[in-house]
Structure 1
């Protein structure tokens, strides 16, 4: 433990919600590490509303308790990090699944200049029964792979609960998530922010609690995935959507002229219908990518920006979206009215199906795209109204 006159180098922060069974052993291990290593530090318990006496146990074992009223794993940790006095912070769960007496690799990397040091349970070892098979073989590997692929992160275990970091560098990232996705946010924002990131092998033991963990596999897994999607609209939605949109649009236009044969494959009106559908789905994906990125920026998520996107964002508004969408819709409507007039001139009799479809499909496509553009512009207007109201 440190004295009030010493400069604290390390704060060991543990989020806590009714961890009376395991909290004392975790604190004692952390205190033993500080005594053995000579590191000047403190143990901070970020209590998230425990009603089992966890706060008294923490104080009795020499920890400093910080009450965090806002609920959630991320909220508790941010409350503890904000209150920490150390230059470095090592955070870990208070369920005795991590050994707080063996923090030397983390401190060594932090002292060497790394700003985020992640534990890797797949390198250090996972004890039998310490991680459910769903998490071990599906959840953690898949979500970590998605994170590495989308953000070019070197981290192999995105969700390890034991990690250390430079406190000031992490605070400067303005972390905002309140739930379990906080674990992903730390890694993603650190990578995007250019922080020096590394990982060390970490052993995961079976936790010592008799009750079920707070983690809910599918709910919290989805929250992690949702967070990753918000931060990667370009690769998941924009590029695939733009490809689908242009393929569908060009195919629809060319087939409006007449049937096409490609290497013995004949394309006609039925293909045109499916290509128009592909165009609609692609266009919706592009709009979703743009709106997602704008929403993320408005909510304070620091996503890398480009000059092209900044120029586009300045030009997009409810009014511009409504005008562009109305123009597309009117062009399609004029074609539809022209077709209706031609049908009326024939006495509303039977029509030649193929030539009629070649024109009606593009007209319908234009009206659908126009309506989508108008509604997307309105949604953007809702985002902007919400932003002004908050500020």
Structure 2
């Protein structure tokens, strides 16, 4: 037997090793004592055997009592029952409890003991959850879903992590624009979950994940140990909750966008297609730098909606009035331009008609004898030709129902 096997036999905490220790340290000495007490076979060769066995039993009981008292003292138990059972579990592998774990440990007689001291214990981890354990000096293991996951006495449950997709809403986010006007964003929604390398592959290949609860052990450790820390109301450092950490990142995107733009650029009318504020904000949530920031504490943003942008009521009404004046001015300019074109076309038509009248009169007088009274004759010819042209124009300008304009 090498040193490692001997160390495992002495200090191991599995049920099999514990039963071996119980047989060697308790059962064999007890049987030997009883057999010698009733048969007396060893009296001739080992006259002090029973005395030695009694001393051994007193020493064993004393060591057990000392261990139980030590556990009771360091973990501040009021009774001896829990420390005694814990010692029997650790050393002899007897009465090993079993607990069920999801977002918390299910109620059981061993709930407090496992939470305060740790293993040995068998865990049933529900689907959609993982358990991170740690020793006195470092993180130990990450246990996924499964039955009878054995937690050794060197391990203690540090965190139970939910792998399901989380959903949250920020009721209101307020920030000042580049021109110093306060803007409020309401009902910002987002979904997030534990990060896993497979998500990046799925994004690139546009596939769905068959395993509904993928996770990376490193992401679990980052989630537990890398989340931000804040001061509590009692002026004590405490870790920020998962939801608060993600909410702070998402709120930072919106506040940063508002501070870089003017009010007109944020709540511009939809007719102005040059301002795509929602698309610009949404893209920032999927930017590689932002994703890397979330990945530092083992999280990925699956989906989000920035919500509705609005300013203070009075300011917004004034901007709406300004936009209304601008639009009304554009309408009046367009209407005036149309009226001017109509007048110009009417004047052009009159000028063409007058020119046509003059040309027809000149053509009618060409080659006609004027007689002795030339002026009188020209006047009559002009009147006659004018009447003919007017009659011709009147007969040509008829409406569809046959009436004249």
Fold shared, TM-score > 0.5 on shorter chain: no
TM-score by length of 1: 0.26
| Structure with greater contact order relative to length (CA < 8 Å, sep ≥ 6) | 1
Higher helix share: 1
TM-score by length of 2: 0.26
Find the structure with the greater CA-based Rg. 2
Greater fraction strand = 2
